[in-house]
Amino acid sequence: MKQFFIITAFSFIMLTGCSEDKALVSITVGQDVYHIEVAVTQEEQSLGLMNRKELKPDQGMIFLYKEDRKLSFWMKNTLVPLSIAFISKDGTIKEIHHMKPESLTPVNSTHSVRYALELPKGSFERSGVSVGDKIVLPGLITDY
């Protein structure tokens, strides 16, 4: 039987001090809390985590889409190693991939999914989450 992990929203704030404000939500993934930037617009999704010289162990980004689709990500101008989970509308983790900094090789989902969650490389395993686990996403995410 697969474990169920709950991702709960603890807060929704605006980050300042950047060139523009960024939406941030604190969520629990497995046994750990992460502070996740929310990428909704095409501009936010295209920029992703590019040009970051570091990413704290408890930081990441979630990409939200209005419809299920096969997704493709690359690491152009992304300087930190990441892991990405492709997540279906019902919260099931369909795939987890590890991505190398600055790689131009696309990382494609083989399933149609609604969300992509990027965390520092190895975070899903360290948090006790794996493919097939179902997570409950907060309304802030699912109501998009």
Per-residue model confidence (pLDDT) at position 138: 76
Per-residue model confidence (pLDDT) at position 48: 97
The CATH code belonging to domain 4-142 is: 2.60.120.1140
Per-residue model confidence (pLDDT) at position 91: 86
User: Which two three-digit tokens encode residue 77?
Assistant: 């101008």
Give yes or no for a contact between 80 and 54, defined as CB atoms under 8 angstroms apart.
Answer: yes
Per-residue model confidence (pLDDT) at position 28: 80
pLDDT by residue for the chain (144 residues), tens digit each?
A: 455 444 443 334 333 334 345 678 877 889 998 899 999 999 999 999 999 999 999 999 999 999 999 999 999 999 999 999 999 998 899 999 999 999 999 999 999 999 999 999 999 999 999 999 988 777 778 888
Q: Detail the DSSP E strand segments found in the chain.
A: 4-6, 11-15, 22-29, 32-39, 59-69, 72-73, 82-87, 93-99, 107-108, 113-120, 134-136
Q: Residue written as tokens 């149609």? A: 112
Per-residue model confidence (pLDDT) at position 139: 78
**pTM as predicted:** 0.86
Instruction: Give backbone dihedrals phi and psi of 50, rounded to 5 degrees, phi first.
Output: -60, 150
Q: Where are the domains of the chain?
A: 4-142
